Structure 1
Amino acid sequence: MAWKDAALYSILNTKCPRCHEGDMFPKGTFYNFRKFSEMNEKCSCCGQHFEPEPGFYYGAMFVSYAFSTAIFIGVWIALSFMVKEVTLTMMIIALIISVVVLLPINFRLSRSIWIHIFIRYKGPCNTYKN
């Protein structure tokens, strides 16, 4: 199995879950805070719709919540190693900075994981009909 055929590759690179080739998000919008949440309507390669039904990504909020919890714990542990006493103000500032900086990654990975749970890989675009 080639690396591009692996689900982990597709999830981390926010590729289409059905063909692992098309992009879920437009190029150049990753750290554009006005456009980072824009998604392509469908896969440019296989035609898979990225919003199969209205409200499909509400479940991705649970994935995002898990990532946010990991970020909070990671910031807390990192601060406890860097300073002698962690104050509430220090913790809040560190969390706000971390969450804002990691927001596009959290948002996109959460959606990518969520759609990969429900749509299975069928192979490269040229191996099947839409």
Structure 2
Amino acid sequence: MAWKESRLYSILNFKCPRCHEGDMFPPKTLFSPSKFSKMYSKCPCCGQSYEPEPGYYFGAMFVSYALNTALFVSVWVALNVLLGDFSTTTMVVTIVILAVLLLSIIFRLSRSIWINIFIGYEGPCDQIPHKEGFR
């Protein structure tokens, strides 16, 4: 399996899970506080709907919770290794700063993981039928 055909490629590059070519999010919006959550309604390449049903990304909230838990544990371990003895205030401030800085990435990553759980790769955009939806 080639790298571009893997789910990991689609997840990390925020690409369509069906064709791995179309973007899920508009360009240059990742670090924009008011636009990082904007998402295309469907793949500009193959037509795959990015919200197959209302409330589809409710489950992505649990993925986000898991990613943030991993971040918190990583901060705790890193502080233990680097500082040895640290205060609760140091840990909380470090976690809050990192959580705020990584908010947009974790938001997009959780949505990308969630949709890739349910929609599989079908092939390059020019080799699969274009989906026409009601949107």
Bin for the TM-score computed over the shorter chain: over 0.9
Q: RMSD value over aligned CA atoms?
A: 1.0
- Post-superposition CA distance 1:98-125 (Å, at most 9, x none): 1011111111111001001111111111
Q: Which residue of 1 aligns with 2:47?
A: 47
Q: Is 1:59 paired with 2:59? A: yes
1:2 CA displacement? 2.6
State how far apart, in whole Å, the 2-side matches of 1:53 and 1:67 are.
24
State how far apart, in whole Å, the 1-side matches of 2:125 and 2:73 are.
41
Q: Which moved more, 1:84-93 or 1:36-45?
A: 84-93
The equivalences for 1:18-97 within 5 A come to 18-97=18-97
In structure 2, the CA distance between the partners of 1:84 and 1:117, relative to structure 1 (3 Å rule), is closer
Runs of 4+ in 1 over 3 A off after TM superposition: none
1:5 CA displacement? 1.4
1:63 CA displacement? 0.8
Identity among equivalent positions (%) equals: 59
State how far apart, in whole Å, the 1-side matches of 2:31 and 2:80 are.
29
State how far apart, in whole Å, the 1-side matches of 2:85 and 2:74 are.
16
1:84 CA displacement? 3.6
State how far apart, in whole Å, the 2-side matches of 1:94 and 1:54 are.
36
Gaps of 5+ in 1: none
Q: Which residue of 2 aligns with 1:103?
A: 103
TM-score normalised by L of structure 1: 0.95
Q: Which amino acid aligns with 1:4?
A: K
State how far apart, in whole Å, the 2-side matches of 1:128 and 1:7 are.
17
**Secondary structure of residue in 1 paired with 2:113:** helix
TM-score normalised by L of structure 2: 0.92
State how far apart, in whole Å, the 2-side matches of 1:118 and 1:57 are.
12
1:3 CA displacement? 1.8
